[in-house]
A and B are shown apart, each in its own frame.
Chain A
Amino acid sequence: MSNPVDTFRSEAEENLAMLETALLEMEANPDDPELIALAFRAMHTIKGAGGMVGFSDLSDFTHYLESAFDKVRNQQYSVTAELISILLDAKDHLAGMLEQPEQTPVQSMVGQALLARLNEIIPGDGSSIDPVVTSVTAEDDGQRKQPEKALRVRFTPSQSTFVDGFDVLPILNELNSFGTSYVTTICKDVPAIIELEPEQSYLSWDIILITDQSVDTIKDSFIFVSDDWKISIEEVEDSLLDYEYFGHIGEILVERGLITAEQVDDVLTSKPKTGELMKESGLISDSDVEAALAEQKALREAKERKAGKDEIVRVPASRLDALMNLVGELVIVQARMNQVAQAREDEELFSVSEELDRLTVDLRDNTFSIRMLPIGSTFGRFRRLVRDLSRELGKEIKLETQGADTELDKMVLDRMGDPLVHLIRNSIDHGIEIPEARQAAGKEKTGTIHLSAEHAESHVVIRIRDDGAGLNTSRIRDKAIEKGLITPDSQLSDDEVNNLIFEPGFSTAQQVSDVSGRGVGMDVVKRSIQELGGHVSINSEHGCGTTIKITLPMTLAIIEGLMVVVDDEKYVLPLSAVEECVELLNDGKCDANGKRLVDIRGDLVPYMRLREWFHVDGAIPPIEQVVVTRMGDERFGFSVDEVIGQYQTVIKRLGKFYEGVKGFAGATILGDGNVAMILDTAGLIEAQETEAR
């Protein structure tokens, strides 16, 4: 991502998200100084970075926000609900302004209106409210907005410096104002009092300065003394900012002139634990060691702070995908090599292959972990949704979240965004009642939506629970009958009825006609989740609330599969869906509709013959195998010629041409170079049912 504008955009988006989170949390804790500081920092960063890349309108707008908010930070004004509302709108406005550097006339009007609203609450300083007057302070900020680095500033004042009227203290203060400084005053040249020339300077300084300022700026601090003082300012490389280099305790003590290097050496030759030993030898006191240790710690902290900042690298998602693809290829080649080794019975090749296998698995796991993102990164957006929508509907709702650090593959997370929004929207809209109704029902006035995520084996379970009115089961039943989804005499449990809302065709006409394209029905939610290899179920108690449970695989790129054979064709079924394999001795039974049924320990389970479904010719073997899969509470079998066994499957997308084909989750390349289709069990079941009707 070399384009600075792109970098700015993605950083600004992050900062806007941070701002939004801070503002939303401020609603509950309006006086939290940390939240206020966080919001302020986000504005400040956007302003500075925006100015640098030529987004001057955006930078100016943020400048007014920042100036106003600075007064909140200085406690001149307090955080009010109105202020939060304005700032949230301003955040949305900023998000819009990220599109292009020059704002449209409409944007400019919206911006002015926002600033006018802001001005009513927090009056600006005279002209500063007029957005047309734009002295771009962003440039100054731009210079300051360099990454932090460590500078080593060493200087020895001239002997006559005190007499010349230059003191060191103001310089130390100035250096400290540029960042964080760790000062070492070197006193080793100060003579004992009898030999001291009191007006002469014997001291020197060695300072580590962590700052975002340039070396030149630091040099300017010494402008009046640069001719007479010995000054060196250099950037410290990461490898050198090591406490062993700078902070070695003996060295610190020597530098300070408290002990000599020879003394350290003497002690050191009698073995380590420098501080302890020197203390014992009486050269230095406890407090000297303490001070030196404190410095050692400060340096280590400085190093960690620096390290922490540098370790984050921005990488476009497409590169990660490419890496993942390559790892996938490698897994395939590895499998092939394994086969070759086995076929040749070559021990040496076999051992190399095993080693490669181990490395490949490590590489795969590592690559996976890079793609994993905490689900909490999407929670912020839901918070906003809950806030805005509940206000609009006159409801009081709080969103509780749990398990924000649960990790999911980025692609899964991206594709779960809209379904989750839809489900939460439903909870707000249809689940939680208006405050009066809640009070009448003896509940708390404020409704709660609880959003949680947790790991369960190789899956992630997301739950959305509300304490609202719950589903009206009898109404759903009526509607399902009306839509022809069930017959009036169907014997279904309440849960089964409730889950009908996920059926295609259940959605009301209103939802389908929603032009925005996002007002999707619950069937689309279910479909999106199934496409990700997950499933969804709903559990509701009338009057008490509804819980929606979504189970998702952690990743989409590789699955554990069960390989099966039909004639010469190999297929892979996702192992997570497979419950058991049974032998099918006779041709099985058929029910009244001609559906095939297999008897599994007394239960009749419907199944489909893959051979027929895929129109594979050839003789059916005398004994077929039925792979029984489970989707939620339902079981369904697939009959195949042979079950080969577990197979780690790298999923390849089928590409645009096959996008609409139902029943396939993708394809995989086998060790021998052949292609096997990965079956989408849910899709197959659905396709078969559609065909049967």
Chain B
Amino acid sequence: MTIKMDGDMTIFQMSEYHRLLADEYQASKDVVIDLVGLDEIDTSGVQLLLSLYKQAGMDGAELVVTGASEQVAKIFKDFNLPQEFIPATEDN
């Protein structure tokens, strides 16, 4: 199951995204989060993905985050998050 993220993933869209992700996750445990369309992400957005990651870890499900632009990937790196969690960039 691939979930596409579009536009901004900031505090203003957080409840909306939370609902979306929680629902999709419960529907099919293994999800791919595709960030190709994502323009902007803030700390709350990263936290949301972390929370999903944690859930997947607990359930033994697989979470893949992919398609991040250089800018978005840099944010994950700035937080120095686990290597596995830093999304693959668009180019590779």
**What residues of chain A have their CB less than 8 Å away from a CB belonging to chain B?**
162-163, 165, 167-169, 172-173, 176, 182-185, 187, 190-194, 196, 198-199, 201-203, 256-258, 285, 287-288, 290-291, 294-295
* Between-chain CB contacts (< 8 Å), 30 pairs: A163-B11, A167-B42, A168-B43, A169-B43, A169-B78, A172-B78, A184-B80, A185-B79, A190-B54, A191-B51, A193-B18, A193-B22, A193-B25, A193-B52, A193-B54, A193-B55, A196-B48, A198-B17, A198-B47, A199-B14, A256-B82, A258-B82, A287-B84, A288-B83, A288-B84, A291-B81, A291-B82, A291-B83, A291-B84, A295-B80
Other A-B contacts than A183-B79, A287-B82, 15 sampled, CB-CB below 8 A, are: A162-B42, A163-B11, A168-B43, A169-B43, A182-B80, A192-B51, A193-B21, A193-B22, A193-B25, A199-B15, A201-B44, A288-B82, A288-B83, A291-B81, A291-B83
Q: How many residues of B contact A (CB 8 A)?
A: 29
Closest to A256 in B: B82
> Contacts A183-B79, A288-B82, A295-B80 hold; do A198 and B54 have CB atoms under 8 A apart?
no
Residue of A192, A202, A258, A295 near B47 (CB, 8 A) is A202
Asked if B14 and A187 sit within 8 Å, CB to CB, the answer is no
Closest-CB distance, A565 to chain B (whole angstroms): 75
**What residues of chain B have their CB less than 8 Å away from a CB belonging to chain A?**
11, 14-15, 17-18, 21-22, 25-26, 42-44, 47-48, 50-52, 54-55, 57-58, 75, 78-84
Asked if B54 and A192 sit within 8 Å, CB to CB, the answer is yes
In the bound assembly, the distance between CA atoms of A41 and B49 in angstroms comes to: 43
Closest-CB distance, A405 to chain B (whole angstroms): 39
In the complex, chain A residues whose CB is within 8 Å of the CB of B42: 162, 167, 169
In the complex, chain B residues whose CB is within 8 Å of the CB of A287: 82-84
In the bound assembly, the distance between CA atoms of A176 and B48 in angstroms comes to: 24
Asked if A201 and B84 sit within 8 Å, CB to CB, the answer is no
Closest-CB distance, B40 to chain A (whole angstroms): 11
Closest-CB distance, A298 to chain B (whole angstroms): 9
Closest to B42 in A: A167
Asked if B18 and A198 sit within 8 Å, CB to CB, the answer is yes
Closest-CB distance, A175 to chain B (whole angstroms): 10
Residue of B47, B57, B78 near A183 (CB, 8 A) is B78
In the complex, chain B residues whose CB is within 8 Å of the CB of A182: 80
Closest to A183 in B: B80
Closest to B84 in A: A287
In the complex, chain B residues whose CB is within 8 Å of the CB of A193: 18, 21-22, 25, 48, 51-52, 54-55
In the bound assembly, the distance between CA atoms of A258 and B53 in angstroms comes to: 10
Asked if A162 and B44 sit within 8 Å, CB to CB, the answer is yes
Residue of B44, B52, B58 near A199 (CB, 8 A) is B44
In the complex, chain A residues whose CB is within 8 Å of the CB of B50: 187, 190, 203
In the bound assembly, the distance between CA atoms of A203 and B54 in angstroms comes to: 13
In the complex, chain B residues whose CB is within 8 Å of the CB of A176: 78
In the bound assembly, the distance between CA atoms of A285 and B63 in angstroms comes to: 13
In the complex, chain A residues whose CB is within 8 Å of the CB of B84: 285, 287-288, 291
Closest-CB distance, B55 to chain A (whole angstroms): 4
In the complex, chain A residues whose CB is within 8 Å of the CB of B78: 169, 172-173, 176, 183
Asked if A196 and B79 sit within 8 Å, CB to CB, the answer is no
In the complex, chain A residues whose CB is within 8 Å of the CB of B51: 190-193, 196, 198
Closest-CB distance, A203 to chain B (whole angstroms): 6
In the bound assembly, the distance between CA atoms of A169 and B47 in angstroms comes to: 12
In the complex, chain B residues whose CB is within 8 Å of the CB of A163: 11
Asked if A185 and B58 sit within 8 Å, CB to CB, the answer is no
In the bound assembly, the distance between CA atoms of A285 and B42 in angstroms comes to: 26
In the complex, chain B residues whose CB is within 8 Å of the CB of A192: 51, 54-55, 58
Closest-CB distance, A207 to chain B (whole angstroms): 9
Asked if A167 and B21 sit within 8 Å, CB to CB, the answer is no
